[in-house]
Amino acid sequence: MEKMHQRESTIGATSAGQIESLVSGEQGAPQGEREASKAGARGRFFVTPHAVERYRERVHRGISYERALEEILSECDRAHYVKDYVGGKQYWRGPKPMRLRLLVAPSVGSELPQLVTILPASDALSRPGRSGL
């Protein structure tokens, strides 16, 4: 059990570092084979493992990785662009009733755009001292 916990915290730390580098506009480290094989390269976006974990944490706790990925892909098919976001990313919004807040890195060349993360329900939950948008 302890070994599993170590692996999860290592993946989380790596993903958080990759997300930070993406938001700051720096080139992130390439994903390992294990992480890339879990990611969703179907549909409108390439879904990063970090985005799936944030979905499981913020939206639908207790579901499997695979089920979370399927739900995200379904939501993304009906999502719409809202505006440009910090660091060259884009803010997208999912359909009702969930209205997921999606942070997307635009496509480069022939690659799919990357769903980088699923943002909290509102900025008030992610920025201390702020009461909303």
Q: Which two tokens stand for residue 46?
A: 């390439």
pLDDT(24) > 50: no
Task: Note the pLDDT of residue 42.
Answer: 72
Q: What is the distance in angstroms between the CA of the first residue and the CA of the last residue of the chain?
A: 41
Alpha carbon distance 26, 127 (integer Å): 22
Output 42 or 14, whichever has higher pLDDT: 42
In contact, 31 and 116? CB cutoff 8 Å: no
pTM > 0.85: no
Q: Give 39-97 pLDDT, tens digit per residue.
A: 455 789 999 999 999 999 999 999 999 999 999 999 999 999 999 998 999 999 999 98
Model confidence band, residue 121 (pLDDT cutoffs 50, 70, 90): confident
In contact, 88 and 94? CB cutoff 8 Å: no
In contact, 32 and 101? CB cutoff 8 Å: no
Task: Note the pLDDT of residue 43.
Answer: 84
